[in-house]
């Protein structure tokens, strides 16, 4: 009888342990799901801030990797409000996307973006900082992003436009005005502050991109951005359209959105 009771006690204990383990695993999985939904993961390599000598070449614009017959990836046009929403701004070149971190250049791209796209940033991989000793002060960064476009994950080392400086409804046009910029950072801090390289995005009533401008001819020049306290941007709907003014340390920009086109009208 004593042995039977001990056996039952052990079985009961084992069941409690298994139950506790299942609950723990479920909790961890829930946290992982929450992290993937509500925020982006940061992965920083050991020794990231130890400067390496040389220069890093961005693989997502490497012509030899891209080739001549790359598959074109359709951009995401729907903008989703969220902390990890950003833009991959295609300027005068295509941007190659990979199925993994490819800082050694050993993999071919899975395709290229030829148009600006909404993205969700899943993970940022801070890998290396290089200092070019042939110049007075020149740093390049081996930083990769895991991003999602239209539900599909890709990898790129092309710097994203990650800061929405202004988001304003335009009831007159049944549209929404977005002022988007890069966090350009300073010294060895790749993406801390100093918003710059602004461009305008206009959304329709379904949150789809109907217009995105070229990079504006404007240099903000300040570490911080505050539309109200610092008067970094002001807007007004007038008979001419949606007018906006950007104010930097030593530069200004005035523009007007007329419902279908953007016009610069001064500084």
191 compared with 4, residue with greater pLDDT? 191
- Per the structure block, which two tokens stand in for 96? 């190659």
Share of the chain above pLDDT 90, in %: 77
Strand pairing category for 139-149 and 152-156: antiparallel
pLDDT of res. 22: 41
Whole-number Å distance between alpha carbons of 130 and 49: 9
DSSP E strand stretches across 29-159? 41-44, 52-53, 85-88, 95-97, 111-113, 117-131, 139-149, 152-156
- The answer on pLDDT for 27 being more than 80 is no
Mean pLDDT of 148-177: 97
pLDDT digits (tens, 9 = 90+) for 216-234: 999 999 999 987 767 899 9
Domain ranges (residues) in the chain: 44-156, 163-266
In 10 A of CB 71, how many CB atoms?
A: 9
Vertex 63 angle, CA 212 and 107, to 5° = 105
Chain-centroid distance, C-alpha 186? 18
Strand pairing category for 233-238 and 41-44: unpaired
Length of the chain, in residues: 267
Mean pLDDT of 65-85: 91
Q: Find out whether 155 and 145 touch, Cβ atoms under 8 Å.
A: yes
Strand partners, 97: 111
- The answer on pLDDT for 112 being more than 60 is yes
Q: Find out whether 130 and 53 touch, Cβ atoms under 8 Å.
A: yes
- The answer on pLDDT for 150 being more than 90 is yes
3-class SS at 109?
A: coil
22 compared with 155, residue with greater pLDDT? 155
DSSP E strand stretches across 46-97? 52-53, 85-88, 95-97
pLDDT of res. 132: 97
The pLDDT mean for the chain works out to 87
Whole-number Å distance between alpha carbons of 31 and 33: 5
The terminus-to-terminus CA distance of the chain in angstroms comes to 93
Instruction: Tokens 């050694």: give the residue.
Output: 104
- The answer on pLDDT for 13 being more than 70 is no
Choose the weakest-confidence range: 6-20, 110-124, 180-194, 236-250.
Answer: 6-20
Choose the weakest-confidence range: 7-16, 33-42, 74-83.
Answer: 7-16
Q: Find out whether 161 and 182 touch, Cβ atoms under 8 Å.
A: yes
* pLDDT bracket for residue 39 (50, 70, 90): low
- The answer on pLDDT for 28 being more than 60 is no
User: What residues contact 236, with CB distance under 8 A and at least 6 apart?
Assistant: 242, 243, 244
Strand partners, 44: 126
pLDDT of res. 3: 41
């Amino acid at each position: 009888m004593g042995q039977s009771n001990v056996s039952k006690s052990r079985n009961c204990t084992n069941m409690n342990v298994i139950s506790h383990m299942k609950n723990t695993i479920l909790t961890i999985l829930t946290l992982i799901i929450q992290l993937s939904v509500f925020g982006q993961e940061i992965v920083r390599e050991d020794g990231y801030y130890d400067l390496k000598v040389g220069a890093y070449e961005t693989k997502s614009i490497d012509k030899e990797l891209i080739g001549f017959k790359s598959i074109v990836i359709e951009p995401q046009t729907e903008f989703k409000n969220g902390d990890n929403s950003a833009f991959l701004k295609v300027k005068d070149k295509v941007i190659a996307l990979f199925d993994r971190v490819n800082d050694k250049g050993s993999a071919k791209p899975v395709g290229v973006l030829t148009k600006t796209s909404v993205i969700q940033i899943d993970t940022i991989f801070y890998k290396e900082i290089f200092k070019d000793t042939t110049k007075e002060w020149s740093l390049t960064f081996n930083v990769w992003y895991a991003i999602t476009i239209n539900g599909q994950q890709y990898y790129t080392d092309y710097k994203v436009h990650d800061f929405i400086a202004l988001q304003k409804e335009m009831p007159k046009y049944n549209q929404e005005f977005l002022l988007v910029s890069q966090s350009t950072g300073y010294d060895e801090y790749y993406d801390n502050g100093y918003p710059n390289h602004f461009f305008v995005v206009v959304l329709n009533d379904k949150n789809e991109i109907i217009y995105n401008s070229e990079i504006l001819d404007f240099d903000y020049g300040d570490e911080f951005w505050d539309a109200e306290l610092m008067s970094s941007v002001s807007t007004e709907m007038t008979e001419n359209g949606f007018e906006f003014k950007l104010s930097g340390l030593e530069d200004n920009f005035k523009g007007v959105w007329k419902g279908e086109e953007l016009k610069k009208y001064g500084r």
